[in-house]
Structure formats: structure tokens, C-alpha cells
């Protein structure tokens, strides 16, 4: 049938598509192994070496090329991401819990929250700095204005994740707890939350990742001190060197490791849940 012809053609296409997707990443990985300090961020590779990786960590003799000003920025980004993660996840869990019951105005609240992820960073960043500068009269800082905007951006994601989790949550365990005389607040703390925790964890991870790499909002709203993406952006107009690519490779590997750990934890808990479901059949 036609699909017999179609499937292999599309399979080849998908292969090319993946090549297209991975192209830049592959290129930057290759160039990260460029010889240094004279090798530049372009082809050809003069000589394969791990120079730039060592340069990142300050393990090479000082040269004309200054090390990337990433240290402080990295710390700030991590802190900001952590703060954002906690705040937006708390807000997301609370909002999702509220949406379990029908209420008037649910639609408006829903769209208000989701709006946060739809409005591009240029606009929220601009607006927030206008608000800070010209009305409130405060200075922009990564831990105030940028933080506020980051939460606006990540809260809807955390909210949607928790909404999906709670939708599939079987409420009968909660009702069982109530029937035993346990108040709804204590029930949430002792029954619901422990059971939705993997979902909460994934929302936290999501929010953390989004905040770490967030760029447009931060550009406007973080004031003097830079986060990591801003520091990287700073190198755009200056000469770039393969060390920035080495940095990119390392951060990708870090994300990969983080998500693999998370994936393994999820797989384990799914396996445990499945084992439990099987037990029910062995009456």
C-alpha cells in the first residue's frame, strides 16, 4: 500500500530533520575541541584539543584571551532559578488545587495565568522595567524585578503541569481520609501531597530549567548584575572564542544528567505503582 512507500520516505526525511535540528549542536561540539589559544570559533579545526575546556576552569596558563566572566553570573542564575522554582511551584500547586472544584470566573483566572507564558519576554521585560523605573522608582535587580518576571513566566508552566497531575489523581483516598475525621488541610498535607510529589518535582524541574536559560525578560529586568544568559549575550558583540562552546557542551551534559536522574526516578516509581496494581489481581 501507499504507506509502504510513504513510511521509508518520511523516515529518511525525519533523519534529515534531526540532522537539521542537531546541526548547530554538533558544530559547536566539534569546535569546542578546537586548538587553543590561537584557534578561533570557525572551521577548520587546526588541531583537536581539550584546551578550551581547561580554559574554562582556569587550568591553562594565562593568554590574550580572558576567561569568560561567567562565575558570578552562574551563581546568580542558579539562585534566581532556585527562587523562581520554589515560588512558581507553590503558586502552581495552589492554583491547580483550586481548579479541582468548579467556581465562577474560572475561565478568566485560567487565561490570566496562561497569559504569563504567552506574552513574549520583550514585552513583560519592558513593562516591568518601566514600572520599576518610572512609577515605583526602584532600581532593577535580578532578585527583585527579574525574579518577579521570571515567576510570571514559569508559574503558568508549573500550573499546567500540576493541573494535569491533579486531573488524573484519584480523589477517593482524600475522601477516605475525610471520612476518618481528618481535616482537608491535614489530608492535603498527609495524603495528597505525598502522592503528587513526583508531579511537583517535575514542575519544579521545569520551572528551574526555564528560569536558568531565560534571556529576554532578564535582559530588561535584571539591572546591573548579570545572569548567565546575559553574560553570554555580552560576548556576542565581542570576539567569541571556542570556550563559549565548550561551556555550552558542559551545560548540555549537565542538563542531560539532571533529566536522566529524574527520568530514572520516575521510571522506578511507575514500576512500583504497576506492581501494586498487579497485586490487586492476585486476590
199 grid coordinates: 508531579
Cβ distance to other proteins smaller for residue 53 or 155: 155
- DSSP calls for 192-211: IHHHHHHHHHHHHHHHHHHH
Smallest distance, other proteins to C-beta of residue 219, A? 7
61 or 236, CB closer to other proteins? 236
Nearer to other proteins by Cβ, of 44 and 58: the residue is 44
In the complex, the smallest distance separating the C-beta of residue 61 from other proteins, rounded to whole angstroms, is 26
- Least Cβ distance, residue 75 to other proteins (angstroms): 16
With 0-12 / 13-18 / 19 or more C-beta atoms within 10 angstroms meaning exposed / middle / buried, residue 76 is buried
**Residue 168 C-beta: closest distance to other proteins, Å:** 14
* Nearest-approach distance from CB 202 to other proteins, in angstroms: 14
**What's the closest the beta carbon of residue 62 comes to other proteins, in angstroms?**
24
Contacts by 244-251, CB closer than 8 A, 24 or more apart: 244/41, 244/68, 245/28, 245/29, 245/31, 245/32, 245/41, 245/52, 246/32, 246/52, 246/53, 246/55, 246/56, 247/56, 247/68, 247/70, 248/28, 248/32, 249/28, 249/29, 249/32, 250/53, 250/56
Closer to other proteins by Cβ: residue 58 or 282: 282
Nearer to other proteins, 62 or 189 (CB): 189
Whose Cβ is closer to other proteins: residue 85's or residue 228's? 228
Calculate ∠ Cα 91-217-220, nearest 5°: 130
- Range 10-27 burial, b when 16+ CB lie within 10 A, else e: eeeeeeeeeeeeeeeeee
Amino acid at each position: 500500500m501507499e504507506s509502504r512507500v510513504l513510511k521509508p520516505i518520511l523516515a529518511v526525511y525525519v533523519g534529515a530533520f534531526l540532522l537539521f535540528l542537531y546541526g548547530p549542536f554538533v558544530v559547536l561540539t566539534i569546535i569546542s575541541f578546537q586548538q587553543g589559544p590561537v584557534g578561533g570559533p570557525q572551521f577548520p579545526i587546526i588541531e583537536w584539543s581539550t584546551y578550551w575546556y581547561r580554559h574554562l576552569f582556569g587550568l591553562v596558563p594565562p593568554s590574550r584571551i580572558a576567561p569568560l566572566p561567567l562565575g558570578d553570573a552562574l551563581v546568580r542564575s542558579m539562585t534566581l532559578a532556585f527562587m523562581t522554582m520554589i515560588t512558581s511551584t507553590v503558586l502552581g500547586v495552589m492554583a491547580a488545587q483550586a481548579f479541582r472544584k468548579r467556581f465562577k470566573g474560572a475561565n478568566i483566572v485560567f487565561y490570566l495565568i496562561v497569559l504569563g507564558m504567552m506574552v513574549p519576554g520583550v514585552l513583560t521585560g519592558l513593562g516591568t522595567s518601566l514600572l520599576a523605573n518610572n512609577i515605583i522608582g526602584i532600581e532593577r535587580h535580578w532578585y527583585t524585578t527579574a525574579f518577579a518576571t521570571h515567576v510570571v513566566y514559569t508559574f503558568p508552566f508549573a500550573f499546567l503541569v500540576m493541573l494535569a497531575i491533579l486531573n488524573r489523581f484519584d480523589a477517593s483516598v482524600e475522601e477516605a481520609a475525610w471520612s476518618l475525621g481528618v481535616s482537608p488541610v491535614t489530608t492535603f498535607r498527609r495524603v495528597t501531597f505525598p502522592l503528587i510529589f513526583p508531579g511537583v518535582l517535575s514542575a519544579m524541574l521545569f520551572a528551574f530549567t526555564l528560569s536558568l536559560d531565560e534571556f529576554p525578560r532578564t535582559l530588561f529586568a535584571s539591572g546591573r548584575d548579570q545572569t548567565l544568559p546575559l553574560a553570554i549575550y555580552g560576548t556576542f558583540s565581542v570576539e567569541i572564542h571556542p570556550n563559549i562552546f565548550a561551556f555550552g557542551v558542559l551545560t548540555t551534559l549537565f542538563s542531560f544528567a539532571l533529566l536522566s536522574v529524574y527520568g530514572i526516578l520516575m521510571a522506578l516509581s511507575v514500576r512500583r505503582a504497576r506492581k501494586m496494581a498487579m497485586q490487586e489481581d492476585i486476590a
